[in-house]
Structure 1
Amino acid sequence: FDTAYGKLIIYHNDDASVEVVVTDEVGVVSVGDNWTIALSVPDAGYDDEGGNWSSWIYEKNITAHFTTFNTSDITLNIYSSGQDCISVAGHSKTSGSIYSGSSAGLTFDNRQKPEISAPTYAYTADNLSTNSYSSLGGTSGAAPHAAGALALILQRFPSITPEQARSQLTDYAFTDTHTAAYGTEPNKRFGYGKLNAFRAVFPQLDAPENIQIELLNNNTEIRISWDNEGFEYKIYSSADSAADFPGESWTLETTVTNDNEVTLSNNFDAKRFFIVTVD
Structure 2
Amino acid sequence: MLRLNDFNCNTSDGQAKINGFVDAAKNDKITFECSGHLEKINVKTLFYQFENFGQDFITDKHIEGLITSNIFFKAEADTNLNIDLKKIYTRAHLKIENGKLIELPSMVELDEFLAKEYKMKNLNLGRLSFATLENDIEIVDQVIIIPNMTIKSSAMNVDIAGEHGFDEKINYKFRIKSSQLINAYRKKKKDNNEFMEQEEDQSQTIPFFMKGTIDNPEFGYDKNTKKEIAKSTADEKKNELRDAFRKEFGEKEITDKKESKKEEKKEDKKQEVNQPRLGVEWNGE
- Normalising by structure 2, we get a TM-score of 0.24
Pick the structure with greater CA Rg: 2
Structure with the higher helix share, 1 or 2 = 2
Structure with the higher strand share, 1 or 2 = 2
